[in-house]
Every structure is written in structure tokens, then in C-alpha cells.
């Protein structure tokens, strides 16, 4: 059977299809757009893809993403940030979500994922030893466990709580409040969300 598309276009579609959430049809639309687009757009995209590996690194203290010319995350080195308060998140982009609220003035610690035996991710794959070291060195007073409200996130939070307690640390531990999102009917809320909403209910 004759080839339907040029080899270069087929390769671009295949590569775009490797991206999370991008199916065959979406990959084809993206590829056709890039084919028709001005060459400057393609060059700019290619440069951005190259630079994300060349100019981005991981903070050795918080494991947040930083520029290669920075020694540590600005959210850690900033003297206005409270080093005695740490929000523990699963991934670097979770920091962006919390920062957008403008409510958190502490520092962050990125675990690098959540415990998931099915995916072969155990506590040894996460940045837990580094968190324990920070708790001691920065005299941390409170750790906010801000993992996702998923089975993996809940398991990770429980493990962290027990592990920190077993070290004999007196640091306070808290969990982000969970509840029903605004505009969502009860019948569409999942069991984990409903359970946390009941646990975190407020008296009127």
C-alpha cells in the first residue's frame, strides 16, 4: 500500500502522539498546523524545546525547577519566605498552583511523585530523606502535606506522617483541607472528596 503522508510529516505526528493526552487525531492537527505555520513559529518552538533541557535544572534543596544559573530555588533563598514552614508537594508544577493563591509564604519540598506500587514507585524513589534533613537543619515548625487527593497521594501522605513521627520529630503536621468544589453537585463528587468534606466540616 502506498504511503499516505510524507515521511517527515508521519514522524512528526508519531512524536507529537507521544505527549500525554495527545491522541492520533490531535497529533495530526498539531502536525498540520506546524506544517502550514510560518517557519519562525517552528524555529521558536524548536528552540524552546531545546532550552527546556539545556536551561532548566532541579533545586538541590527543594527539588523545584530552577534556571541553570541559580544555585537554589528563589522561593527558598528569598528572606521573606518562612523556612520554618514547608509545603510538601508531589510535582514541581504543584508549586505554581499554590503560589497563584498568593496565600502561602513558606517554602516548598517536591517529592518527585507519589507512592504507587503498580508503577514501581516506593518511598525510596521519593525525596523523603532530604525532607527529614531540612526539617532538622531549618528547625521547621510545621509541615503541610499537600499531596493530591488520590489513592496514591493519600498513601504517600499517611506514610510521610508516620515516617516523620517515627524520627521523634516534634514538628507539627497538617494536611490541605479537602472539600466539594464550588459548582459541583454532590452526586458528581467522588468518594475521597466526600469523605474529606465530611471530616473537614465546619460548625455554623
Domains and CATH numbers, the chain: 1-37 (1.10.8.420), 79-177 (3.40.1360.10)
Task: Give the phi and the psi of residue 78 in degrees, each rounded to 5.
Answer: -60, 120
Residue 189 pLDDT more than 70?
A: no
Mean pLDDT, the chain, as a whole number?
Answer: 89
Res. 84 pLDDT band, cuts 50 70 90: very high
127, 63 contact by CB (below 8 A): yes
Q: How does pLDDT run across 101-157, given as a tens digit for each residue?
A: 888 899 999 999 999 988 888 889 999 999 999 999 999 999 999 998 788 888 999
Q: Where are the beta strands (DSSP E) in 6-127?
A: 56-58, 65-67, 82-89, 106-110
Q: Degrees (nearest 5) of the Cα angle 155, 158, 159?
A: 85
108, 62 contact by CB (below 8 A): yes
Amino acid at each position: 500500500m502506498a504511503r499516505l503522508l510524507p515521511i517527515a510529516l508521519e514522524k512528526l505526528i508519531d512524536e507529537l502522539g507521544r505527549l500525554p493526552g495527545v491522541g492520533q487525531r490531535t497529533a495530526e492537527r498539531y502536525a498540520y498546523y506546524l506544517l502550514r505555520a510560518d517557519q519562525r513559529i517552528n524555529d521558536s518552538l524548536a528552540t524552546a524545546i531545546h532550552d527546556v533541557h539545556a536551561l532548566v535544572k532541579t533545586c538541590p534543596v527543594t527539588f523545584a525547577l530552577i534556571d541553570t544559573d541559580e544555585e537554589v530555588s528563589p522561593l527558598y533563598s528569598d528572606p521573606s519566605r518562612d523556612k520554618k514552614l514547608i509545603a510538601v508537594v508531589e510535582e514541581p508544577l504543584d508549586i505554581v498552583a499554590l503560589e497563584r493563591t498568593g496565600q502561602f509564604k513558606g517554602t516548598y519540598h517536591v517529592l518527585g511523585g507519589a507512592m504507587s506500587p503498580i508503577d514501581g514507585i516506593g518511598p525510596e524513589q521519593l525525596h523523603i530523606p532530604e525532607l527529614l534533613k531540612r526539617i532538622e537543619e531549618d528547625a521547621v515548625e510545621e509541615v503541610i502535606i499537600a499531596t493530591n487527593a488520590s489513592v496514591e497521594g493519600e498513601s504517600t501522605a499517611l506514610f510521610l506522617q508516620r515516617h516523620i513521627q517515627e524520627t521523634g520529630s516534634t514538628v507539627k503536621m497538617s494536611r490541605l483541607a479537602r472539600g466539594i468544589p464550588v459548582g459541583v453537585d454532590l452526586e458528581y463528587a467522588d468518594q475521597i472528596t466526600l469523605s474529606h468534606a465530611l471530616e473537614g466540616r465546619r460548625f455554623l
